[in-house]
A and B are shown apart, each in its own frame.
Chain A
Amino acid sequence: MWHLITAPILLPFLTALIIMLPPVHYSPMRRRWVSMISSAIQLVLAVCLLLQVQQQGLIHYAVGDWQAPFGIILVADTLSVVMVCLTSFLALGAICYGSAGEDEKGSFFHPLFQFQVMGINGAFLTGDLFNLFVFFEVLLIASYALLIHAGGKNKTKAAVHYVVLNLTGSAIFLFSLAVLYGTLGTLNIADMAVKLATLPAEDLMLVKAGGLMLMIVFALKAAVLPLQFWLPATYASASAPVAALFAVMTKIGVYALLRVYSTIFGENAGPLAGMASDWLLPAGLATIALGAVGALASQDFRKLVANLVLVSVGTLVSLVALQTELSAAAALYYTVHSTLVTAALFLVADLIANQRGKAGDRLVSGRRVSQPILLGFIFMIGALTVAGLPPFSGFVGKLMILQSAVEPVSRILLWSLILLSSLMVIVALSRAGSTLFWRVSGTEPGGGKAPRLQIFAVIWLLLASPLLAVFAGPLTALSQQAAAQLYDTATSNNIILGQQPVQEIKP
């Protein structure tokens, strides 16, 4: 069980390699089954890891047995493992959806998908900033290739922007890492937090510059206001299972912001404590507003869902900026809820588009869908959840968020923006739903019925929402525990950097 923490990284990696080898690679059915079974195993292992973290507290793993702070370490605390579980759950749904035929529209869908899952899991589990950069690049290069999966003009155009922006982001990431290494002399997240407490005054501004450059990079990945222009076009043009997996990619940016600005630049950072909040709070709030307006203005359903991603990112970034345990707990619950429901909505958009013939997912009157009751019901559950109406998980998430804003100024801003944006999202979704399902011309449906596997994938993702609401009690306790662990930096730094008994190396 000692090595369990490496499983979320190694298993997707090995699966991707196996899928590319001859006996599996030649048959589409084998590729699908290997990919789906491996994802199911990943989900089981992720849950096992969560149980282990629950029992033992924070787990860290020195790769190659080079002890921290000299070697690269993997760290599993409740927050990161919950994110790994979320990724595995989402990946299983998206792979099932893709296996119904979408994967054969281009080559190497399954290996690339597994590589991306590996990058995402690695980014969540690493305890080293440079390693975080490496895993970012792993998931990014897989996402570049997945974005143009199935080809087409729109995808190529979106991919050029996306790749150039992310390469620039990587350059800034490296600049900031070099500044931080040059001043602090370490890139281990726990060790950086310790070193920052004894920082000489003349290096203060350099570290601040490095830290704020990191914020720019993570804000670009998360798509926060001045850096969000790439998101709607990219997410709307990606093929459905890819867009569903991308729903978790913005959350990696948010996770990195939360990790870096609560562990390294947290309460113990002296004059640098909370330096990002002044920037993140207004940026996050403005992103909520922009996403809501964008949702109202969207001309097609996929763009609308992409704008809903922006709303959720804005909400999460504002919560990160509040920098309290309550807000971090709310952010974790809301991350799980919003990732799953936006991913499900991307899949629903594709199902609807496939059945409406030429009109696709554009919000104009078109031919009727062939399964109006099933799709309408699925759409309604998704819409109610994402807008935050009871009895689904969005309501619980919004409630936690509203309760976590304690200070008067942030309370006024956050409450008004979140409630107003919810109203605008309801309006946008009702307009979209009534256009898609009721403004129909003719009686002939525009396409055939959806494959059962695709319906299963959508229901798999949507079913999480009522479950999240039913088990809201234990889940809020879990997220509060994760937040407490995140903010108890002294203990976790001690565990990571403390003298561990060196494992005997077997010859």
Chain B
Amino acid sequence: METLFACCIGFLTACGVFLMLRGRTFPVVLGLTMLSYAVNLFIFSSGRLTLRGAAVLGTSEQYADPLPQALVLTAIVIGFAMTAFLVILAIRARADLGNDHVDGKLPESEMSKKESR
């Protein structure tokens, strides 16, 4: 289970970082979302991975650490709000700047492609 979990986090992080380095705002937003998923899973694993572990004392042999679960909840809420804000900001930037490039202007190679069309 640990290997599968670690591979999941690694894959999500890799995808997130790759998408974040793209030039347009939409892939960047998706990349940040993936990165925050990876983070959430990672925080969850910091309480150790246990099967059938209760988070309440005195109910089972094994216990799950409740604190990372609380931290994950906080992180999810904050990440959700931030992503929502970023989406709105990206739309505003698209409207204000006339394109969806993160630097506010298209690189020259794409400009020439657009003109030739």
Contacts and interface: CB of A to CB of B under 8 A. Distances in A.
Interface of A: 130, 134, 137, 141, 144-145, 148, 151-153, 156-157, 159-161, 163-164, 167-168, 170-171, 174-175, 177-179, 181-182
The SS class assigned to the B binding surface is: helix
Interface residues of B, number: 34
Interface string B51-79: 00000000000000001100100110011
The SS class assigned to the A binding surface is: helix
B82 A137 contact: yes
A224 to B, nearest CB: 21
Contact of B104 (A157, A167, A174, A177): A157
A161 B97 CA distance: 14
Given A141-B82, A148-B92, 9 more contacts: A134-B74, A152-B96, A153-B97, A160-B104, A163-B82, A164-B20, A170-B82, A178-B43, A178-B45
A62 B15 CA distance: 41
Contact of A164 (B32, B43, B45, B68): B32
A130 B78 CA distance: 12
Contacts of A168: 20, 32, 35
27 contacts: A130-B74, A141-B81, A144-B85, A145-B85, A148-B92, A152-B96, A153-B96, A153-B104, A156-B97, A156-B104, A157-B97, A160-B104, A161-B102, A164-B28, A164-B32, A164-B86, A170-B82, A171-B35, A171-B36, A171-B38, A174-B75, A177-B43, A178-B39, A178-B68, A181-B46, A181-B71, A182-B48
Contacts of B90: 160
Q: Which 4 residue pairs are nearest across A and B when measured between Cβ atoms?
A: A182-B46, A178-B46, A157-B104, A178-B43
A177 B43 CA distance: 8
Given A156-B92, A164-B20, A168-B35, A178 B82 contact: no
B6 interface: no
A88 B43 CA distance: 35
Interface of B: 20, 25, 28, 32, 35-36, 38-39, 42-43, 45-48, 67-68, 71, 74-75, 78-79, 81-82, 85-86, 89-90, 92-93, 96-97, 102-104
A181 B48 CA distance: 11
A153 B42 CA distance: 37
B95 to A, nearest CB: 9
A320 B37 CA distance: 34
Nearest to A145: B85
Contacts of B42: 174-175, 178
A95 to B, nearest CB: 24
B43 A163 contact: no
